[in-house]
Amino acid sequence: MAEAEVANAEAPRATAPADWRLKRNRAVAMVIALLVFALDQATKWVVTYPLGLENQPGQNIRITSFFNLHWVENNGVSLGLLSADGPMGRWLLVAMTAAIAVFVSVWLWREKRRDDSAALALVLGGALGNILDRVRFGHVVDFADLHFGTWRPFLVFNVGDAAITIGVLLLLVRALLMRDGKGAKKES
């Protein structure tokens, strides 16, 4: 009888480090999502107000030989797909992207792996920044124009788009490596 009581008393202690790691991973992920969101909104503010690109359609600010700032009002989602022409389309895109953000948030909350939590946080922070743009302006503010001569491997994008892309790629690479058994499973 005393042995059973000792075993039951030790059970909560054994799960405590796992619970602590999960809470730490969640906290770190929320900080990452908040930082991505803040950086996304701060860079959009700079190109909109101090640099005034909004009032200069077609104008480029050359930063380097391969990177310009260029104002684009993106009425669609990724790569300009599902263009929202009119208020109904705008709010449907807000609802759709908000539903995706909720799904990512739930996944992030349940995720035990630190690397997947960080990747999901990148996706969440970028998505929230783009949702806020669509609610406030009716479009997403894009401004980053990466090019190599006349070759443009990407459409004009923003920090949120970059974070979403990086987060999704990290999730895909890890999933492919784990599927092939090349990665080691770990919770921390």
Tokens found for residue 110: 């349940």
Of the candidates 40, 133, 142, 145, the residue annotated as catalytic is 142
Tokens found for residue 61: 């600010």
- The Cα 112–Cα 13 span in angstroms is 18
Q: Is 145 a catalytic residue?
A: no
**Torsion angles phi and psi, residue 67, rounded to 5:** -145, 125
Kindly give the residue spans of alpha helices, DSSP state H, lying in 49-158: 87-110, 114-137
* Radius of gyration for the chain, computed over Cα atoms and rounded to the nearest angstrom: 21
Q: Is 142 a catalytic residue?
A: yes
Which residue numbers are catalytic? 142, 161
